[in-house]
Structure 1
């Protein structure tokens, strides 16, 4: 085995950037390190599929292990560099963060715990990819312009999971085997000469192809692909396995379901064959959240398996698919967005409660387009991200929403022709209106359309731009929810409820509401800018005809 040493380039006072230990990208990924490893690690592996060899499925192994600190000569010298990062020149917060890392490393005098992320049926890294991955900041080199990750910041996810801020990369391609360690700490003095300053990036090994015998046995690759070892990992044995499986299901269920991806976590395989069982075990209910750590993939998995499929050519992104399905236990009414590698991008509540949708663009050119308007976290498509695509992006995002709206109107109408009748007590009734003066498009109204005279014109509501009612029968009574969009934040705002009559709008009395104060036809609520909701309302009139809300002073 070759004798490697850690190398840090000398810091030049007049020309080198001074870099602190608290790095924004690393800190962001550290908020949920397991989710970060799963999303970033698997997307890198998915981008490296070796389809030229006939492979159609990427295999990823995520597991924990340990390596003796003295097993590899000079490896533990990185600790000396980390310790000397503490300095009087730092503020107290920075030194406290460095000490937190040191405390974790010092808990075990003899071993480094690690997390391994290895992929198979993949190409391995070519020279430029290996260089950029180990040595680049905000720099990425991927052959496919539609690669899931191409922003060059995802590697920070690995550093975020390492108390050593260190990872070892072993990658085998057609050219041979490459091996290198890389570390991101801070500008610091040399442990051997305190008169010399060193840069924040350190390297253990080279970017050149090496002989297999030169790579430590534990890190050696024998077939094409890449293995990444996160040294000094924060994760203990505990529930690591369960958390990783949960994040794989949450973010990559679609890729697993379509046999694009197989993941092995410790000793458990996640494949299309056992996906349904794992879904039920890890997500026993259908309750979902739009964002955050409580998101639930199960409504969308069920929608893909049981729902109705619609297809549409959408400007700039080509042929796209949408699956829609109805289940009264679906609480969010959201459509999950995916592109070619089938990692969840984001969800948007375009539907009514009781429905779910799955949107997919796997057109190669469309995949490139959507990648170009995707943020660094890969959880948003935004026309403002890429100025060159801005006009086209607005058109595309609008067309996606129109496709969803039209398909949902069709689906809700044909799914059950009586589903919105008054006699069907278990179904959902939904009403969506513009608030007077609003120009925002309605969501599809799948409910019954009753003929009522137009009420007298009302002045424009400058606070509420759009609202949507839905209702279910519970215990023989109709319970209503309303969602609305506000143009600004106001404390203790009064919201008035009304219904259409033959010649005007009449108030409707509220008889029960748990969450907010109310009086007669008015609810008092702290309104926030953007989306708001008032749920669980019982009115004196059981069935509301053309209900509406208005803000009043």
Structure 2
């Protein structure tokens, strides 16, 4: 559905299809980079906290945060899993929207403002080398079977920092930090968004997270972020009039969002890095059929998991001991252990204990979560903790020091997910009770996490301890019998040798001769 306008004569016209916009060209606003500015604003430098959070591992970050956003935007009316695709291409640098403005006005102004900052100047040097090149790399991330960005989601993603509006209160994310991950993966800190939703139709906008600089108006500075937009309407920057200059592989009736990272930091191993990140962070989402990922022409779904894990295990073996070679991460190794649990023929599945259901009002039944356990040969005795979306939160350890198990915990209940999301940190990799302000709720959360850990330990011990004890006792008994046998044999040997020595003993009498000086 397209946004439809009515002119003063009552004639319908739209951006797509039949149009009378040419009549009003003189009133049409031109797309350009718009830098919000004012007096007394706090200067934004190059080390923006939101972006720096994801700068160490930008490809992993953009994969995790991008897929999380797509899972949160799932269209319940669509059949099949949420599909997220990653593909890279290049465009002519001259085709970057507003490139002339950036070269002639923006870059000189920010260089002048931050001339004394070595870090900033290094970034601007890279920025300039990218836009002066003949072509620029672009990473496209598209999702399907999603709802696209409705107005409230559009506002939250594009214009709001430190918060995120989600339709599902048990969604994977809501802290508003992950939206900065794509900018960390861009040498230009430039991202274009294109979306199609049911009520708002099709729209696009560009966002550039740069730095503050002085404007021509005395005392005014820019805020930092810029928007490639048709201009302000009231206090809001409007979508672009023209379409984005990138390839879009969706029909107008196909809801979803496309994100274009312009100036993509395309490491030579970027495809493998994304694959490994998907397996490490979304194994459960893939396994349960909630998610399918496409990286160029390769599909990641449940059926292909064995092939992909074997591929990376082969890489790990081939690159062992090599310097500067592609290495698999510890998270990937743990994900492989979790996969072994899921495919284990002796898998044990446990529901929440009745005591927890009775104690906490955010747990409706024992089926609001499940714990999967299995014994493994190569294990580090951890439990993968996830919520409803299947995205990895973290691995819980210190469960058992002797039982060679590995486990997967997934909270699926709606209210339980809401509770866990509320105590989740901004990086979505741990649950912290200190996020709660209310003292009573904080005490409840602290006790819940203790009870959850107690549940893990009890489940592992009750499920495996007896079997392990029998095996251990048998092993230890064998060791004792062998040790006793060896000790007895050694004693007998020593006795025989002693008897032989005694039998051969001869007593000789020595006369001491006085020594003379």
Tell me how far 1:328 sits from its aligned partner.
1.8
**Number of the residue aligned with 1:527:** none
Matched, 1:245 2:275: yes
Cα 1:408/1:200, change in 2 over 3 Å: same
Which of these residues, 388, 403, 411, is aligned with residue 361 of structure 1? 411
Matched, 1:186 2:211: yes
**Number of the residue aligned with 1:343:** 391
Measured in 2, the distance between the counterparts of 1:69 and 1:137 equals 29
Matched, 1:131 2:162: no
Tell me how far 1:251 sits from its aligned partner.
0.6
Cα 1:317/1:163, change in 2 over 3 Å: farther
Tell me how far 1:411 sits from its aligned partner.
1.4
Tell me how far 1:280 sits from its aligned partner.
2.1
1:335 and 1:351 in contact (8 A); partners too: no
Matched, 1:310 2:350: yes
Describe the SS at the equivalent of 2:392. coil
Cα 1:17/1:125, change in 2 over 3 Å: same
**Number of the residue aligned with 1:505:** none
**Number of the residue aligned with 1:509:** none
Matched, 1:143 2:195: no
Which of these residues, 407, 428, 432, is aligned with residue 378 of structure 1? 428
Matched, 1:410 2:410: no
Write the mapping of 1:458-537 to structure 2, written as runs, cut at 5 A. none
**Number of the residue aligned with 2:336:** 298
Describe the SS at the equivalent of 2:303. coil
**Number of the residue aligned with 1:329:** 378
Cα 1:144/1:405, change in 2 over 3 Å: same
Tell me how far 1:420 sits from its aligned partner.
2.0
1:135 and 1:182 in contact (8 A); partners too: no
Unaligned runs of 5+ in 2: 1-14, 16-28, 231-236, 321-326, 484-517
Describe the SS at the equivalent of 2:455. helix
2:276 and 2:332 in contact (8 A); partners too: no
Structure with higher strand content = 1
**Number of the residue aligned with 2:512:** none
Measured in 1, the distance between the counterparts of 2:417 and 2:478 equals 40
Structure with higher helix content = 2
Tell me how far 1:109 sits from its aligned partner.
1.8
C-alpha deviations, 1:93-138, integer Å up to 9, x for none?
Answer: 43344235325515x6222211111100000001121122111111
Which of these residues, 247, 250, 258, is aligned with residue 288 of structure 2? 258
Q: What TM-score, normalized to structure 1?
A: 0.70
Write the mapping of 1:20-419 to structure 2, written as runs, cut at 5 A. 20-51=45-76, 53-71=77-95, 73-75=97-99, 77-79=101-103, 80-87=105-112, 89=114, 91-102=116-127, 104-106=129-131, 109-175=133-199, 176-190=201-215, 197-205=221-229, 214-216=243-245, 218-219=247-248, 221-222=250-251, 223-236=254-267, 238-283=268-313, 295-306=333-344, 307-313=347-353, 314=356, 315=360, 316-318=362-364, 319-330=368-379, 332-349=380-397, 350-352=399-401, 354-388=404-438, 389-413=441-465, 415=467, 418-419=470-471
Write the mapping of 1:433-448 to structure 2, written as runs, cut at 5 A. none
Relative contact order (C-alpha < 8 Å, sep 6+): which is higher?
2
Describe the SS at the equivalent of 1:183. strand
Measured in 2, the distance between the counterparts of 1:308 and 1:329 equals 18
Cα 1:72/1:186, change in 2 over 3 Å: closer
Measured in 1, the distance between the counterparts of 2:376 and 2:478 equals 11
Describe the SS at the equivalent of 1:197. strand
Measured in 1, the distance between the counterparts of 2:478 and 2:52 equals 47
Tell me how far 1:197 sits from its aligned partner.
3.3
Could you tell which deviates more after superposition, 77-86 or 265-274? 77-86
Cα 1:327/1:7, change in 2 over 3 Å: same
C-alpha deviations, 1:81-102, integer Å up to 9, x for none?
Answer: 2453224656434334423532
C-alpha deviations, 1:401-424, integer Å up to 9, x for none?
Answer: 111011001111355563222427
1:283 and 1:296 in contact (8 A); partners too: no
**Number of the residue aligned with 1:537:** none
Tell me how far 1:163 sits from its aligned partner.
1.1
Describe the SS at the equivalent of 1:283. helix
Matched, 1:11 2:38: yes
**Number of the residue aligned with 2:503:** none
Could you tell which deviates more after superposition, 23-32 or 366-375? 23-32
C-alpha deviations, 1:381-400, integer Å up to 9, x for none?
Answer: 11111223312211211111
Unaligned runs of 5+ in 1: 428-475, 478-553
Tell me how far 1:231 sits from its aligned partner.
0.7
Cα 1:177/1:328, change in 2 over 3 Å: same
Measured in 1, the distance between the counterparts of 2:333 and 2:188 equals 31
Cα 1:198/1:411, change in 2 over 3 Å: same
Cα 1:83/1:183, change in 2 over 3 Å: same
Report the count of equivalent residues.
421
Which of these residues, 392, 398, 420, is aligned with residue 472 of structure 2? 420
2:31 and 2:240 in contact (8 A); partners too: no
Measured in 2, the distance between the counterparts of 1:325 and 1:62 equals 34
Q: What TM-score, normalized to structure 2?
A: 0.74
Measured in 2, the distance between the counterparts of 1:42 and 1:425 equals 53
Measured in 2, the distance between the counterparts of 1:133 and 1:343 equals 20
